Amino acid sequence: MNLIELFLSSILNQNIALVFILGMCPLIAISTNVKNAKGMGLAVILVVTVTAVINWPIYQLLLATGTEKIALLVFIITIAAVVQLLEIFMEKYIPSMYNAFGIFLPLITVNCVVLAVSLFFVNREYTFGETFSFSVGSGIGWALAIILVAGLREKMAKISDLPKGLRGKAIVFIVLGILALAFVGFTGIIR
């Protein structure tokens, strides 16, 4: 499959948040306003790409030594270490970016999108190039989803009068369902 097509499909019709339903906990918790959603989205794009690029060669090493069963454990440790290192690095060299990300960077360790991208390239046997374009696309797709939901929730909080039981998280699922329908609709454009 060509790389541009893979990149576009991982943003739209194979969107990791709306079609594969991953990273829901942070998506629901942090989508109450657009500003925070943008911060979280950018942090996810960065971490997903960096960890996938690091995990790919590590997985080839595990395959070569026949220890691929513990890949899960190794991935989790790499992700935790990468997040920690990014935090230290940014605090020292790019403090403006570090302040912009704030609390979101450490929170990413528990975001399942990051681990899922690493597990997907294993399951689908991607090459390095495919892994790269899939991980960037997935990061952007997740960011797009959280920003869309946050925008809708911000408007909804001001104008809509919901039944009591639907307030808060229940209505977010309905919104997500409608968005997901729209994203599934892109299937005709890209394979």
Partner 1 sequence: MKLIRLRYTKWFNILKDGLHRNNPIVVAVLGICSALAVTNRVDNAIAMGLGVTFVVMASSAVVSLIRNYIPSKMRMVTYMVIISAFVIAVQLFLEAFFYDISQALGAYVGLIITNCIVMGRAEAFAAKNPVRYTLVDGFASGMGYTLILLIVAVIRETLATGTILGYQVLPASWPNWVVMSMAPGGFFVLGLLIWGIREWSKLYEEN
CB 29 → partner 1: shortest distance, Å? 8
List 64, 66, 70, 188, residue binding partner 1 (CB under 8 A): 70
Q: What's the rounded Cα separation, in Å, for the pair 191 and 132?
A: 19
Q: Footprint of partner 1 on residues 73-112 (CB under 8 A)?
A: 73, 76-77, 80, 110-112
CB 158 → partner 1: shortest distance, Å? 13
Q: What's the rounded Cα separation, in Å, for the pair 191 and 188?
A: 7
- Residue 94: phi and psi, rounded to 5, are -125, 65
Q: Footprint of partner 1 on residues 152-191 (CB under 8 A)?
A: 157, 163-174, 176-178, 180-181, 184
Using the minimum distance from each CB to partner 1, give the nearer residue, 95 or 167.
Answer: 167
Using the minimum distance from each CB to partner 1, give the nearer residue, 23 or 39.
Answer: 23
CA-nearest of 49, 52, 30 to 145 is 30
Using the minimum distance from each CB to partner 1, give the nearer residue, 4 or 166.
Answer: 166
CA-nearest of 22, 60, 59 to 44 is 22
Judged by DSSP in three states, 16 sits in coil
